[in-house]
Amino acid sequence: MLVRLSTLFFSLFGLLLAGVLGTPTPEPKPEAQSADLAGLSIGDIINALGIGLVKNITATITLDSLTTNLISINFDVSNPLPIELTLDRVSSSAGINGTEFARFNHTFNPPVVVPILGQANSGQIDNVLLTQGALASLDIIPLGVLDLLNTDVDVRAGTIFGFGGIPIPIDGLKQSNVPVTYNLDITG
Ligand SMILES: *[C@@H]1O[C@H](CO)[C@@H](O)[C@H](O)[C@H]1NC(C)=O
Ligand SMILES: *[C@@H]1O[C@H](CO)[C@@H](O)[C@H](O)[C@H]1NC(C)=O
Ligand SMILES: *[C@@H]1O[C@H](CO)[C@@H](O)[C@H](O)[C@H]1NC(C)=O
């Protein structure tokens, strides 16, 4: 009986394995890559995103922020390209007039899918460090804008509903005068 069960187990396992191995793996061929990217080169994609990936930022300040120097943010990104983009990770330094006020490093889980010519929200990103301290940062709230002094983002281009795509690490994006909305959350 034991033998028969294990035989059954192995046959089932074998079937499963055959099913998995039998699934055609989309081997990225050069032709397939350019087709996925709608004829765009990696350089085209980097340039297009360099013009302004981030539409606006919403920053939430809590009473704790005054002691922890941490705030949370979320931001809207827009995709100017006729291919889907998926964001896996971002790290950014933001400030005013070349002075850094905030810095964060975030891995998106799940990744953020930005539809073709569409927009998406980052979801909440905690642990954004106010590098000048919370009190000094109050001065920049009335400006209602931030400059992204240096943003690195891991993008996958030509994804399908967030899957696959061609990984493009983009370093050193800069963007000026990104609108920022500040919320004070006194329940936090
Ligand atoms: C940010 O931009 C998106 C896309 O344009 C828009 O839908 C959203 O209302 C904006 N949010 C704020 C707070 O301005
Ligand atoms: C930024 O620099 C400009 C030009 O130097 C100056 O007019 C402005 O007051 C500065 N803004 C801040 C918030 O320091
Ligand atoms: C972001 O976090 C990753 C992983 O923890 C680390 O390797 C990287 O140096 C960090 N980048 C910045 C700008 O802090």
Segments making up each domain of the chain, as ranges = 42-185
pTM (2 d.p.): 0.78
Output phi, psi for 51, to 5 deg.
-70, -25
Nearest residue by C-alpha to atom 6 in ligand 2: 97
CATH number for the region 42-185 comes to 2.60.40
pLDDT in tens, 26-68: 555 444 444 479 999 999 999 999 888 999 999 999 999 999 9
pLDDT tens profile 65-92: 999 999 999 999 999 999 999 999 999 9
CA of 2 to the centre of ligand 1 (A): 63
Kindly state if the Cβ of 146 falls inside 6 Å of ligand 2: no
Query: For residue 76, which ligand has an atom nearest its CA?
Result: 1
Peptide bond before 110: cis, by omega within 30 degrees of 0?
Answer: yes
Nearest Cα neighbor of 137 from 92, 174, 184 is 184
- Mean pLDDT calculated for residue range 121-149: 96
Task: Identify the residue whose C-alpha is closest to ligand 1 atom 3.
Answer: 76
**CA pair distance 174, 126, nearest whole angstrom:** 22
Integer Cα distance of 47 and 43 in angstroms = 6
Helix (H, G, I), strand (E, B) or coil at 88: strand
Is the CB of 142 within 6 Å of ligand 2? no
